[in-house]
Chains A and B, each alone.
Chain A
Amino acid sequence: MNLRRIGTSLLAPAIGLFISLAATAVILIVIGASVSTVFSSMWNYGTSPRAMSLMLNLATTYFLSALAVSIGFKMNLFNIGVNGQYVLGALAGAVVASNLTLPTIASLTITLLVAMVVGAAWAGIAAWLKVARGVSEVISTIMLNFIAIGIISYIIVRTSVGTETSLNVRGTKLIPESGMLRGVALLDPGTPIYGFFFISIVIGIAYWFLLNRTRFGFDLRATGKSATAARTSGVQSNRMIIVTMLLSGAVAGLVGLPYLLGETGTYSLQFPTDWGFTGIAIALLGRNNPLGIALGAILWAFLDISSGQLILEGVPREISTIMQGLIVIVVVISYEIVRRNQVKSEQTSVAKALTKQEAKV
Chain B
Amino acid sequence: MTYLKSRRFIGAAFTAITILSITRTITGNGDLTSTVTIAQALVFASPIALAGLAGIWAERAGVINIGLEGMMILGTFGAGWAGWQWGVWAGVLAGVAFGAIGGLLLAVAAVTFGVDQIIAGTAINLLALGLTKFLAILLFTDAPGGGQAQSPPIKGDIPTFTLESIVEPLTALHEKGIFFVSDLAGLVAGLFYHLSLLTIITFLLFVMTSYLLWKTAFGLRLRSAGENPWAADSLGVKVVQYKYAAVVFSGMLAGLGGAYLSIASTIYRNGNTAGRGFIGLATMIFGDWRPGGTAAGAIMFGYIDTLRLIDTGNQNVKGLILLGAIILFAIGGIMLRKAKRNSAIGFLVLGSVMIGAYFSATSFPPEVAQVAPYITTLLVLATASQNLRPPAADGVPYRKGDHH
Contacts and interface: CB of A to CB of B under 8 A. Distances in A.
A218 B137 CA distance: 49
Contacts of A337: 113
Contacts of A140: 378, 381
A299 interface: no
A135 B382 contact: yes
Contacts of B378: 129, 135, 140, 143-144
Task: Report which residue of A140, A153, A326, A337 has the largest number of chain B beta carbons within 10 angstroms of its beta carbon.
Answer: A140
A255 B131 CA distance: 27
Interface in B109-159: 109, 113-116, 118-120, 122-131, 133-134, 137-138
Contacts of B109: 329, 332-333
A39 interface: no
A343 to B, nearest CB: 12
Interface string B21-41: 000000000000000000000
Determine chain B's interface SS by DSSP, over half rule.
helix
Contact of B115 (A144, A146, A333): A333
Given A129-B381, A154-B365, A316-B138, A332 B127 contact: no
Given A78-B118, A147-B375, A322-B134, A134 B123 contact: no
B256 interface: no
Interface stretch (A88-96, A111-119, A177-185, A277-285): A277-285
Contact of B122 (A136, A284, A333): A284
Contact of A281 (B115, B116, B123): B123
Interface string B352-396: 000000000000010100110011011001110110000000000
Contacts of B365: 154, 158
Interface stretch (B177-185, B243-251, B277-285, B322-330): B277-285
A4 interface: no
B285 A139 contact: yes
A160 to B, nearest CB: 14
Contacts of B137: 316, 318
Contacts of A138: 66, 118
A320 B131 CA distance: 10
Given A325-B126, A325-B129, A325-B130, A142 B119 contact: no
Contact of B127 (A144, A154, A322): A322
A142 B385 contact: no
A131 to B, nearest CB: 11
Contacts of B383: 133
A6 interface: no
A295 B276 CA distance: 32
Contacts of A153: 367
Contact of B281 (A135, A142, A319, A336): A142
A196 to B, nearest CB: 25
A133 B382 contact: yes
B134 A318 contact: yes
Interface in A114-164: 129, 133-136, 138-140, 142-144, 146-147, 150-151, 153-154, 158
Contact of B124 (A133, A280, A284, A329): A329
Contacts of B278: 142
Contact of B129 (A139, A321, A336): A321
Contact of A143 (B66, B129, B374): B374
A329 B127 contact: yes
Interface in B78-137: 105, 109, 113-116, 118-120, 122-131, 133-134, 137
B169 interface: no
B371 A150 contact: yes
A129 B126 contact: no
Given A129-B378, A133-B385, A143-B378, A332 B119 contact: yes
B371 A147 contact: yes
A98 interface: no
A147 B370 CA distance: 8
Nearest to B141: A316
A203 to B, nearest CB: 23
Interface residues of A, number: 43
A244 interface: no
Contacts of A322: 127, 130-131, 134
A102 B395 CA distance: 51
A150 B382 contact: no
A325 B381 contact: no
Task: Report which residue of A129, A281, A328, A335 has the largest number of chain B beta carbons within 10 angstroms of its beta carbon.
Answer: A328
Contacts of A167: none
A31 interface: yes
B130 A139 contact: no
Task: Report which residue of B105, B285, B374, B382 has the largest number of chain A beta carbons within 10 angstroms of its beta carbon.
Answer: B374
Contacts of A326: 127
Contacts of A172: none
A280 B122 contact: yes
Contact of B134 (A158, A319, A332, A335): A319
A309 interface: no
Contacts of A328: 122-123, 126-127
A331 to B, nearest CB: 9
B385 A135 contact: yes
A139 B381 contact: yes
Contacts of B130: 318, 320-325
Contact of B367 (A150, A277, A320, A335): A150
A284 B66 contact: no
A146 B385 CA distance: 20
Interface of A: 27, 31, 78, 129, 133-136, 138-140, 142-144, 146-147, 150-151, 153-154, 158, 277, 280-281, 284, 316, 318-326, 328-329, 332-333, 335-337, 340
12 contacts: A129-B378, A143-B377, A146-B371, A150-B371, A150-B374, A316-B137, A322-B127, A322-B131, A322-B134, A328-B123, A328-B126, A329-B127
Given A158-B365, A325-B127, A325-B128, 14 more contacts: A135-B381, A139-B282, A140-B378, A147-B375, A316-B137, A316-B138, A319-B134, A321-B134, A325-B126, A328-B122, A329-B105, A329-B109, A329-B120, A332-B116
